[in-house]
Amino acid sequence: MKISFRIWILIFALLFSLLAIKPGFGSGVIITSVEFNSTVYKEGIRTGEIIKSINGHEIKTKEDFTKIMGTLFKNEEELRIDIITNKNQYAILTNETLELTAENVPKTRIQTGLDLRGGSRALVQPDETITDSQLEDLVEISRNRFNVYGLSDVNVKGITDFFGNKFLLIEIAGATPADLEQLIGQQGKFEAKISNKTVFIGGKDKDITNVCRNDATCAAVTSCSPISGGSETCSFTFSIYLSEEAAKRHSEITKNLTLDSTGQYLSEKLYLYVDDNEVDSLLISANLRGQTTTQISIQGSGTGSSKEDALKNTREEMRRLQTILLTGSLPYKLNIVRLDTISPNLGDEFIKSIFLAGFASIILVSLIVFVRYRKIKASLALILTSFSEIFIILGVASFIGWNLDLPSIAGILATIGTGVDQQIIIIDEAKSRNNLSIKSRMKNALFVIMTAYTTSVVSLLPLWWAGGGFFKGFALTTIIGITSGVLITRPAFADIIKKIEG
């Protein structure tokens, strides 16, 4: 049988989905969390990197990682630990256990939501009206704050509903609702200290009047240069503006400080604290000693294995510092709109039950089609097309990095239902006894399907904003499914039926 152009499109779509899902054949363990401000964090190790070896020992599984970690730090002597990841090589000198966790590399790139992995989720709303840029700042501030508390696997994102209301969606794996509620309920505090004396604070009546962020004249990456090991380092600088009171405190605290060995900086650093936890320290330029200035230049750097990585890491470090200095504490009181907790075991059961139900429904419908039309080829084509749509949805979700939650899976099941309905329309048209040719009958069937598709997409779009964004997954996977059906699987199914009835 000659393969038509539409069937070739379906084959290519399935190959694309396979590459997007990308079964993981590589070895190693993926870092899932790194404690903020720990030794490994300061060396540049971040979540998402895959550990390939430790001290020359190959790491293939989590068991290998646990075994090697157990052989280290049997006494309090300082050790050198050489770690090779998929992105870089690290030499760490420490006498403490590495403050990171790791898991086996996922077998696929399919990402699941909190309601399938387990944890707590809160939908919160500021007690006052905020703009889109203020919502972005609130997201960054919240992320920094959770990093300070050492929480891993945290997802914080801003959401705008259909009526323009702004929300913050916070998901934390492994945390209890009580922990999450306590963290959200208090605004916290931000302080900057020199010699253990407070220079300026954050909050409603903050001493920092402005932080330069989006102006290249006062916030920029200044230079990049190579360092040992083939890596690159880049420097950044940006200005902050203090109130008159904060500028006077800065002058009083620094006027009697000495210079360090280089003569370029003061002997004491500026330490930044969020909720009494140190989050960063900055060198103070020597020309600021005893000066009552409302404008201070903040300088820092970032490194990477290449110039592109160094630039990226430097910009991220600059943005992180800008966010902390803007206000380390939450600038608004947050009201909890909804608080949920999901057991990971329950999530596993959800996945099994839902996909078992979907598989059973496809098989049952195919049997009904066989009984009704007595066409084994048509029934097999229906099964193939339905599973192709599921595979394409998973491929697109993996490609765009979408977390599949329960609403997303419900959207997949809805796609199966509409897909089966439309394929039965195609079969009925193919077996119609009118005088039209099989080609004309297939055109009629596809016209009906396209009309139904347009109506479905229009009705699904409001779900993108409804309910504080909780139905986004359902809307997304359903739209992906019915769009791939109309453009790829239905035309291919029509060609298959056309050849069967030919």
Q: Which domains does the chain have, with CATH numbers?
A: 5-22+345-501 (1.20.1640.10), 29-104 (2.30.42.10), 119-187+333-340 (3.30.70.3400), 190-326 (no CATH)
Asked whether residue 439 carries a pLDDT value surpassing 90, the answer given is no
Which residue, among 351, 490, 477, 475, has the nearest Cα to 420 in the 3D structure?
A: 490
Asked whether residue 175 carries a pLDDT value surpassing 60, the answer given is no
Which residue, among 130, 52, 324, has the nearest Cα to 211 in the 3D structure?
A: 324
Q: What is the pLDDT of residues 381-432, one digit of tens each?
A: 888 888 888 889 989 988 888 878 778 888 888 888 788 778 888 887 777 7
Which residue, among 388, 414, 422, has the nearest Cα to 473 in the 3D structure?
A: 414
pLDDT at 347: 59
Q: Which residues are within 8 A (CB) of 204 and not within 5 positions of it... i.e. 6 or more apart? A: 331
Q: What is the pLDDT of residues 250-268, one digit of tens each?
A: 899 988 888 888 888 888 8
- Taking all residues of the chain, what is their mean pLDDT, rounded to a whole number? 79
In this predicted model, which residue has the larger pLDDT, 487 or 40?
487
DSSP 278-337: EEEEE--BGGGTT---SEEEEEEEEEESSHHHHHHHHHHHHHHHHHHHH-SS-SS-EEEE
CA dihedral (359, 361, 366, 368) in degrees, to 10, reads 160
In this predicted model, which residue has the larger pLDDT, 203 or 498?
498
pLDDT tier for residue 187 given thresholds of 50, 70 and 90: low
> Rounded to 5, what percent of the chain is helix, strand, coil?
50, 25, 30
Helix (H, G, I), strand (E, B) or coil at 153: coil
Asked whether residue 198 carries a pLDDT value surpassing 60, the answer given is yes
| Type of residue found at 42 | K
CA dihedral (203, 207, 212, 214) in degrees, to 10, reads 20
CB 270, CB 190: distance < 8 Å: no
pLDDT at 234: 92
Q: Which residues are within 8 A (CB) of 262 and not within 5 positions of it... i.e. 6 or more apart? A: none
Tokens of 61: 């599984």
Asked whether residue 145 carries a pLDDT value surpassing 70, the answer given is no
Q: How many residues does the chain have?
A: 502
